[in-house]
């Protein structure tokens, strides 16, 4: 299992002879599915060229703290926020000392101060420098602050000495980087999620829709990404920021949503949380409809059925593991079980939207999850983010059972 799949790693390269191993380390991290950006100290660039690491990582190498071009693209604060892990290899005695003192006198040390990501150091230095009390005190300081140490190893050194201080090999460092992350239940899976309402036009001014905010679907997208999945989020009109690392497709009508979902197939898991309009006006007026004095008592609007997105996708030959939602105001479990059967679903999430504390637009939810054997799992009321993580964990358990 690739625990580094889609993980964002900033590789810091210090000024030591072990910097030659950084090229191989980039390759090992990429092989495990990570995205890698390289930050070099000026000393590091004397041992291995930035061009080499740029070619291997596929991204420009960052060198200077005050580089206007870099700041316009991905400056030190952006890099700090971008990273899931900052791995410094090699971490020289000088670099460790500056980090221990909290200095920010180059791009790499500034990045370490600015990031909330895990920071790991792979020491590389002469065995005497490693044993020096000052180095050991600096190591105690950085570890007390929560930074991780990867190594060093013992063996022959470039200077001819033998002892502790060698940087670990790239394969070992890649494994240790992976150990910084929990094993993720949906790593390598493509999850397709629908969210929000749909809008069905009556004329250029008016449309039919519902109260769905999309919050549950967006929370599910975030939870699936946390679980390691590649997420395609097809959403109706909502005012929500795109979850980090989700591929978002904005649609309006039910037919738009179906077309977008079909274009995103195949997928491993389908989670249909969108509140799709069952009907649409048979004819969309070309101009705004006006009041007609002859029909002062009302207006007749003929409606036709929309395509059933969930039934269509769950009925495909390359059918994904299919999860539906049932938003009901009465007979919740009975209606949900019927929908589970009629639409050939693996799981259905039943929501009581008559309850204003967990209905549309609320920040919290509570639901029951029903499987094909009509077993019910109750998820008590809590935030939609926590409900989403519980649902993703349940889905991950079920999908591994059927594989």
Would you please indicate which residues are annotated as catalytic (active-site) residues? Answer: 159
What φ, ψ does residue 112 adopt, rounded to 5°? -60, -40
Q: What phi, psi does 280 have (nearest 5°)? A: -140, 155
> Containing H/E element for 382?
strand 376-383
DSSP character string of 278-324: SEEESS--SS-----GGGTT-----EEEPP-HHHHHHTSTTPPEEEE
Q: Is 256 annotated as a binding residue?
A: no
Rounded to 5 degrees, φ, ψ at 345 are: -100, 160
Which residues partner with 275 through β-bridges? 197
291 marked among binding-site residues:
no
**Which residue, chain included where needed, has tokens 């190594």?**
151
The residue with tokens 């895990």 is 118
Nearest CA among 359, 3, 40, 354 for reference residue 181: 3
Helices (H), 67-144: 68-74, 76-82, 93-100, 107-114, 127-131, 133-144
Q: Within its chain, how far is the Cα of 334 from the centroid?
A: 35
Q: What are the beta bridge partners of residue 156?
A: 162
**Is 244 marked as a binding-site residue?**
no
Instruction: Find, among 305, 250, 251, the residue nearest to 282 by Cα.
Output: 305
**Is residue 309 part of an annotated ligand binding site?**
yes
Q: Is 360 annotated as a binding residue?
A: no
Tokens of 266: 């195949």
The first and second tokens of residue 313, run together, are 């996708």
Distance of CA 213 to the CA centre of its chain: 21
307 is in an annotated binding site: yes
Smallest Cα–Cα separation from 210: which of 168, 146, 254? 254
Tell me whether residue 278 is annotated as binding.
Answer: yes
**18, 104, 122, 12: which is closest to 66 by C-alpha?**
104
Binding residues for CTP: 278, 288, 307-310, 325, 339, 343
Binding residues: 278, 288, 307-310, 325, 339, 343
């Amino acid at each position: 299992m690739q625990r580094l799949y889609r993980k964002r790693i900033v590789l810091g390269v210090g000024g030591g002879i072990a910097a030659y191993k950084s090229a191989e380390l980039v390759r090992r991290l990429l092989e495990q599915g990570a995205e890698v950006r390289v930050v070099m100290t000026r000393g590091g660039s004397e041992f291995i060229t930035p061009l080499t690491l740029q070619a291997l990582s596929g991204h420009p190498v960052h060198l200077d703290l005050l580089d206007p071009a870099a700041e316009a693209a991905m400056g030190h604060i952006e890099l700090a926020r971008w990273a899931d892990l900052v791995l410094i290899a090699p971490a020289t005695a000088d670099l460790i000392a500056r980090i221990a003192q909290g200095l920010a006198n180059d791009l790499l040390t500034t990045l370490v101060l600015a990031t909330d990501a895990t920071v790991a150091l792979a020491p590389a230095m002469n065995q005497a420098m490693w044993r020096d009390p000052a180095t050991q005190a600096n190591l105690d300081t950085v570890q007390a602050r929560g930074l991780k140490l990867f190594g060093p190893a013992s063996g022959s050194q470039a200077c001819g000495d033998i002892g502790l201080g060698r940087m670990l090999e790239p394969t070992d460092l890649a494994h240790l980087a992976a150990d910084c992350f929990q094993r993720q239940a949906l790593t390598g899976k493509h999850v397709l999620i629908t969210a929000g309402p749909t809008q069905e036009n009556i004329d250029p001014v008016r449309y039919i829709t519902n109260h769905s905010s999309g919050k549950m679907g967006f929370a599910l997208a975030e939870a699936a990404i946390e679980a390691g999945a590649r997420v395609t989020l097809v959403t109706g009109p909502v005012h929500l920021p795109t979850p980090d690392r989700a591929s978002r497709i904005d649609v309006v009508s039910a037919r738009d949503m179906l077309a977008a979902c079909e274009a995103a197939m195949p997928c491993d898991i389908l989670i249909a949380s969108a509140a799709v309009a069952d009907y649409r006006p048979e004819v969309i007026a070309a101009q705004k409809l006006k009041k007609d004095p002859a029909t002062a008592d009302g207006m007749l609007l003929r409606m036709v059925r929309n395509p059933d997105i969930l039934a269509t996708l769950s009925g495909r030959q390359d059918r994904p593991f299919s999860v539906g939602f049932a938003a009901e105001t009465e007979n919740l479990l009975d209606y949900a079980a019927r929908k589970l059967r009629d639409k050939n679903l693996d799981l259905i999430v039943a929501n009581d939207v008559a309850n204003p504390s967990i209905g549309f637009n609320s920040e919290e939810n509570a639901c029951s999850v029903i499987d094909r054997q009509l077993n019910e799992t109750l998820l008590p009321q809590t935030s939609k983010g926590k409900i989403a993580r519980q649902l993703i964990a349940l889905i991950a358990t079920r999908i591994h059972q059927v594989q």
